[in-house]
Amino acid sequence: MWEYSDKVKDHFANPRNVGEIENADAVGEVGSMACGDALKLMLKLDENERVVDAKFQTFGCASAIASSSALTEMLKGKTLKEAEQITNDQIADYLGGLPKEKMHCSVMGQDALKKAIACYRGDAEKKQEGNIVCECFGVTDVEIERAVRENNLADIESVTNYIKAGGGCGNCHDRIQEIIDEVLARGVSSEKKPPKLTNIERIRRIEETLTREIKPTLKADGGDIELVDVDGSRVLVKLFGACAACSKSQLTLKNYVETKLRELVSSDLIVEEVP
């Protein structure tokens, strides 16, 4: 038996906004009977692209119905721009969480919403992006990659829980693992890149970051910054104008410049002010 939250049980037993909207402005349909769940989301918008009504029809289990109901409640009153920001995690959170095996129900909500918005904007049925990896549930490599990235999924089982890929015959497990490995490798490599920098690269990137990111911000406050030297991980800088006089300059350096340089160049940098 599933451990459903009270909110899931409530939205299943008393689903909000079941039905159809005649002349809906946006319709998003996902899933199929073969998949085991399907959702048709219908939206009515006002002239400011605000959702004035949202209705759904769902074929699926309790958490699929509850996720659909929650989604329509979350959508009401939101502009399309705001609606676009809704993620599957937020749908699950709204319901007080979903069992991990049921996360795909919240993903179905997010997918239907995306489709509805695309339908409204007239992005004609976008051609399927990527190549089908999971034949059983028709999931593409692009979708798997996105799910892995956005939800920090680390194994095939989690991928299956979120987007069903790999939940059928299992023939695609190797390919899913490859995608997970690729995403992980990319995540790691972007973190590890800085240590591989040569001294020249490091200095050049510090300069670039100062010019592009930091100077404009300081200038906006009437100050400026100049790179004096780079000694190992020590970055020596001179401050001008408002910054130099500002009693908080030390704090500005620590909190802002250093954070920015650490984030964009290398995590071991220490910023020091030279008089």
Partner 1 sequence: MTAVIYMDNNATTRVAPEVLEEMLPFYSEYYGNPSSMHTFGGQVGKYITAAREKLAGLIGALPEEIVFTSCGTESDSTAIPAAVGANPDKKHIVTTRVEHPAVKNLCEHLSRHGYRVTYVPVDRKGCLDLDFLYDSLTPDTAVVSIMWANNETGTLFPVEEISRYVKEQGIVFHTDAVQAVGKTSINLKTSSVDMLSLSGHKLHGPKGVGALYVRRGTKFLPFLLGGHQEGGRRAGTENVASIVGLGRACELAAEHFEKDYEKVGNLRDRLEAGIMERIPHALLNGDPEHRLPNTTSISFEYIEGESILLMMDALGICASSGSACTSGSLEPSHVLRAMGVPFTAAHGSIRFSLSRYNTEEEVDFVIEKLPAIIERLRAMSPFWKEAVGK
The footprint of partner 1 (CB under 8 A) covers 12-13, 15, 18, 29, 33-34, 36-40, 57-62, 64-65, 101-102, 136-137, 160, 164, 167-168
CA separation for the pair 31, 138 (Å, rounded): 10
Residue closer to partner 1 (CB basis): 172 or 261: 172
105: annotated active-site residue: yes
Residue closer to partner 1 (CB basis): 94 or 137: 137
CB of 137 to partner 1, least distance (A): 7
Residue closer to partner 1 (CB basis): 101 or 224: 101
Residue closer to partner 1 (CB basis): 102 or 115: 102
CB of 33 to partner 1, least distance (A): 4
- Catalytic option among 61, 105, 172, 246: 105
Task: Report the chain's C-alpha Rg in angstroms.
Answer: 25
CB of 113 to partner 1, least distance (A): 15
35: annotated active-site residue: yes
CA separation for the pair 172, 179 (Å, rounded): 11
- Catalytic option among 35, 119, 134, 172: 35
CB of 58 to partner 1, least distance (A): 6
| Residue given tokens 């299943």 in the structure block | 12
Residue closer to partner 1 (CB basis): 102 or 202: 102
- What DSSP letter does each residue of the chain carry, written as one string? -----HHHHHHHHS-SSBS--TT-SEEEEEEETTTTEEEEEEEEE-TTSBEEEEEEEEES-HHHHHHHHHHHHHHTT-BHHHHHT--HHHHHHHTT---GGGHHHHHHHHHHHHHHHHHHHT--SPPPPS-EEETTTTEEHHHHHHHHHHHT--SHHHHHHHH-TTSSS-TTHHHHHHHHHHHHHHHHHHHHTGGG--HHHHHHHHHHHIIIIIHHHHHHTTEEEEEEEEETTEEEEEEEEHHHH-TTHHHHIIIIIIHHHHHHT-TT-EEEE--
CB of 86 to partner 1, least distance (A): 21
CB of 56 to partner 1, least distance (A): 8
Residue 234 is encoded by which pair of tokens? 């020590």
What is the DSSP-derived secondary structure letter of residue 194?
G
Residue closer to partner 1 (CB basis): 38 or 235: 38
Which residues are the active-site residues? Answer: 35, 105
